[in-house]
Amino acid sequence: MPHILVDHLRKTYRISERDPGVMGALRGLVQRRHRTVEALSGVSFSLERGELLGFIGPNGAGKSTTIKILSGILRPDGGRVKIDGRDPFADRERHVARIGVVFGQRTQLWWDLPVGDGFDLLRDIYRVDPVRYRRTRDELVALLHLERVLDQPVRQLSLGQRMRAEIAAALLHEPDILFLDEPTIGLDAPSKLAVRDFVRRANRERGTTVLLTTHDMHDIEALARRVIVIGHGRVLADSPVEALRAQVMAERRLVVDFAQDAELPVEVAGARVHSRDGQTLVLDFDPAQTAAPALIARIAAAHAVEDIRLEGLAIEAVIARFYAMHGAAEA
């Protein structure tokens, strides 16, 4: 059985609605109206031990709902989840002992307590053996550079310091699985790099299974080999990052800088003119139809050229195209 099995997961939220204004509020006291939002409409996937999965999708796609169900916080309305053979909601107590969860937007530490005291409380909550705890804590403190913040209350930390403390807190009990919901949100570049580096190491060196949701495609490029794209509560794609790129991106792009006095061609055989700006021409072409070396040679032979470069498409653009192809706009 896979480490994590998610089978036709469904979740619907019920939202109470009222008409605007005082009359609406009064009417709402007597008669409540409800609307339902289908957050997950049959999500299925599985993960083997030690995988690192990027879980992406536009706002409102159902990513956080999935993580809340996988971490035993929410009960699904339909479908099945098995993690290490356990049902996360029904078997919550044993389940939480084996997982670590980080929600980028929320803290699991105690706002007014110094970081180190919060760690000690978690040791007691998870009943971690004191010797193991000291070893793991010291290791995490060193790896995440937390030495200087251990005595500081959480509310005084910068966002980057807090996020590093949150990640340490999620790992103090040495879980096999880490759920990270937007762990790099709002962080500056060095803090993002530190978080990514740490997550990569936890996955590679400890074999921790990681499920990561993010809107930062650099996180995906740096960490995930496999991605699941979800939109409108459904899995739209489940594939290696490279396969997703290839599927969406049949075309490649060639940028040609012509010499100062050269006249730019109106058309180029085998390519489509995407744009022109001064002496620069941007061409799109299908590599299955036109070989890049032949195209470059043809242009260089016919024109005075200063520079030619082939561009890969940034993962952001790949994902944006993918959403557009599947009509997966923001919910």
Ligand X SMILES: Nc1ncnc2c1ncn2[C@@H]1O[C@H](COP(=O)(O)OP(=O)(O)OP(=O)(O)O)[C@@H](O)[C@H]1O
Give the interface with ligand X as residue ranges (CB under 6 A): 13, 15, 37, 39, 57, 59-65, 331
Tell me the Ramachandran region of residue 195: left when phi exceeds 0, alpha when psi lies from -120 to 50, beta otherwise.
alpha
> Between 159-171 and 189-206, two packed helices, what is the crossing angle to 10 degrees?
10
Q: Which of residues 74 and 115 has its CB atom nearest to ligand X in the complex?
A: 74
**15 vs 288 by CB, closer to ligand X:** 15
- Closer CB to ligand X, residue 172 or residue 315? 315
3-state class (DSSP) for residue 128: coil
By beta-carbon proximity to ligand X, the closer residue of 9 and 308 is 9
Q: Provide the b/e sequence for 234-263 (b: ≥16 CB within 10 Å).
A: bbbbbeebeebbeebbebbbbbbebeeeee
Min separation Cβ 230 and ligand X, Å: 7
Q: What is the dihedral of CA 264, 267, 271, 273, to 10 degrees?
A: 70
CB of 41 to ligand X, least distance (A): 11
**Beta carbon nearer to ligand X, 13 or 111:** 13
Q: Which is nearer to ligand X, 38 or 221 (CB)?
A: 38
- Burial class from Cβ neighbours inside 10 Å (0-12, 13-18, 19+) for residue 4 reads buried
Give residues with Cβ within 8 angstroms of 71, minimum separation 6: 88, 95, 96, 99, 101, 179
Q: C-beta of 171: minimal distance to ligand X in Å?
A: 22
Which of 15/131 has CB closer to ligand X? 15
| SS3 state of residue 113 | coil
61 versus 157: smaller Cβ distance to ligand X: 61
Q: Compute the least distance from the CB of residue 79 to ligand X, in Å.
A: 15
CB of 69 to ligand X, least distance (A): 10
Helix pair 315-325, 241-248: axis angle to 10 deg: 60
Backbone angles phi, psi at 102, to 5 degrees: -125, 120
* Shortest reach from residue 83's CB to ligand X, in Å: 18
The nearest distance, CB 115 to ligand X, in angstroms, is 26
- Burial call 33-57: b when 16+ CB within 10 Å, e when fewer: eeeeebbbbebebebeeebbbbbbb
Indicate the helix (H) or strand (E) that contains 64.
helix 63-70
State the minimum distance, in angstroms, from the CB of residue 59 to ligand X. 3
How do strand 99-103 and strand 177-181 relate by DSSP bridges?
parallel
